[in-house]
Every structure is written in structure tokens, then in C-alpha cells.
Amino acid sequence: LSARMNTATEVGGDFYDVVSLDNQKYLLVIGDVSGKGTSAAFYMAQCISLIRFSCQFSQDPREILIRLNRYFSDPKIDKQIFVTAVIGLLDPQKHQVTLLRPGHNQPLFIPADQSRAIQELKLPGIGIGLEREGKIFEKTLGDTVIKLKTGDTLFFYSDGLVDAYSNGHSTSAGKADFYGDERLIDLLQNLRGKLPTEIQERVTAELAAFYGNSPLIDDMTMLIVQRTK
């Protein structure tokens, strides 16, 4: 495992966590609260606390997300606030991860087999707190089980990683250049076979070089999981 978060301001709305559960299983989560600054940070702290608290009652990622949606759909919560996330149940003994994605960036599956392409895991789901009654949220929330072979890697990230732009890298039209998903996938293609810590360091360095002196306009977070044996 390796993870990193850079905030656009002193505090941010991105979050990640790895929670140890019973039977040597782990809950993996990465997410992003809409907005930025202190408001986003306030709801981020609530969200991560609720996830940790929910694990006492349920270790089912779907049930945890439904509980979160009920909380953030409450009329007393700021109507402008919603949360996107990827949540996974990691079972190291079975070498598998069960993933759900309510509205977040699609996780990337990086096979150790060089002949196989990096895959975007297109999981259905809408953001947490967007739909008040919860019926659409529950109906559209799908999951998938990823079997991990030795060397396979899962790369989770927030939109700040690919959506923020650099004024130092302009397009031919003179507009600021976005880093983009394709550029990230190309970089990860060249990092196959590397351990999570090195992948995280190389991606961080690449983004720092790309943005140069341009200020971050959004939080940037990544969480990398790899089966090593």
C-alpha cells in the first residue's frame, strides 16, 4: 500500500483510509467532498469518522455507503454538499477486492502481465447525498470483484490529479493544459513492475514538474494497492 494527499489550500475535502476489519480483511476508501477549504474539510472529517464508526456495525461496503447517503441526504445537511468515493473490501487470503464507486473517478487496474492493457473499472453509481430519497442511489450502486494475481496493482485517485491545469503548459490555442486521464495512464504504463511507494513517488514528481509554479486548484489524492506475492 502507498498513499498521498496534497491539498489545494491549508485544508481540503479529499480523504483516504485503510481500516483493519475482522478476519484479516481491510476496508479501503478514497473520496472527495464537493467544494474546498474549511467547509469541505468539515464534511470530510464527518465522512471519514462515519465510515470508521460504521465498521462496528457492518463490514459490507454497500451497507456502509447506504448509511452515508442517508446521512448526507438529510435536509439539515448543506444542500450544496455531496461526496464521491470508491470503497473496497480487501480479502488478502482470497487475493480479491470487492469495489463500489458512488460517482468517483474510475479506479485503474494495472495487470502485472505486460500484454494486458491498463483497465478503467467502470462501476455504476451516483454521488453520496445527491438524491434525497435514496432509491436511485441504491438502485444504481453496483459492485465488482477484482481478483489480484502477483504483481497486479489497483490505482485509486481523486479528480484533482487529472482535472487541475498548469498555466505553464499551454495548448496550441493558448489555453491552460489539463493533465488528463490519458496522460496518467501513459505514465502508469511506464511504471509497471514498480512497487506502490515508487509509483506514488514517480506520479507525484511528474505532477509537480507538470504544474511547476502554478497553484493547485483542487486537492490531489492517490491510493495504490498491490499484491506482491
In tens, the pLDDT along 14-38 reads 999 999 998 899 999 999 998 777 8
At 52 the three-state DSSP class reads helix
Between CA 37 and CA 43, with CA 39 as vertex, the angle to 5 degrees is 115
Whether 175 has a pLDDT exceeding 80, the answer reads no
Cell of 14: 479529499
Cβ pair 121, 109 in contact under 8 A: yes
Q: pLDDT tier at 167 (50, 70, 90 boundaries)?
A: low
pLDDT at position 120 is 96
Percent of the chain beyond pLDDT 90? Answer: 65
Whether 141 has a pLDDT exceeding 90, the answer reads yes
Cell of 173: 490555442
CA 68 to chain centre: 16
pLDDT at position 50 is 93
On average, the pLDDT of the chain sits at 89
Q: Distance (Å, rounded) from C-alpha 101 to C-alpha 34?
A: 16
pTM of the predicted protein model: 0.92
Q: Distance (Å, rounded) from C-alpha 166 to C-alpha 87?
A: 30
Q: Distance (Å, rounded) from C-alpha 129 to C-alpha 65?
A: 10
